[in-house]
Amino acid sequence: GESSGKTTLARHIAFLTPTGSYVREYGRDYYDTYGIKSIEDLYNIRDEQFILEQKELLGPNNANDLVCIDTNIIVTEFYAHKWFNQSIVDIHSNEIKEYLKSYSLIVLCENDFDFVQDGTRQNIEFATEQNKFYRKILDDLGIHYLVVVGSVEDRTKQILS
C-alpha cells in the first residue's frame, strides 16, 4: 500500500544480483503526468503495467535471475473500487489466479514504516484499507504471499531466507 516501503524494497532486492531487474510502477508515472480522472485511466494503467512486466520477463534480457515487479493488478483494482466503485478485471477469475500464481513470490509490505506524504498519497487509514484489500484478494484466491516487516534490511533478510 501507500508508504509501505514497497518501491524502496523492490528496487533494493532487484539489484542484489548483477542480472537483477526492476519493473517500475506505471500507475505512479501515469498519475504524475496525467492524473486519474476516470476509470479509463485505470484500464490504461492496468494494460501498460502488464506490458512492462512482459517486456522484462519475456524480452531479450530475460536471462535475469531476479525480476522485482513494484506493483500488480490487485493494486490497480483497489483504486478502481475505491475511487470509481467499479472493477477493471474479474479479480476472482481463474485467469487472474493463474497470473498471480506465475510469480515466484508475492511480498506484501506491512504498514509499519512511518507514513510519508509525497503529495500524492492519501493517509495511513487509506494505506491500511489497501493492505486489507490485498490480503483478502490473495486469501480468497488461495495465493501464498510473504508479509515482511521492519527496516529494508530486515525485509530483505525475510525475503531471502
**Tens digits of residue pLDDT in 86-141:** 999 999 999 999 999 988 899 998 888 776 666 666 777 888 899 999 999 999 99
pTM of the model: 0.86
pLDDT of 6: 83
pLDDT of 159: 93
Region 40-68: mean pLDDT is 84
φ, ψ for residue 47, nearest 5 deg:
-65, -45
Q: Mean pLDDT score of the chain, rounded to an integer? A: 88
Neighbours of 85 (CB within 10 A): 8
Distance, in Å, from the CA atom of 131 to the CA atom of 69, rounded to the nearest integer, reads 17
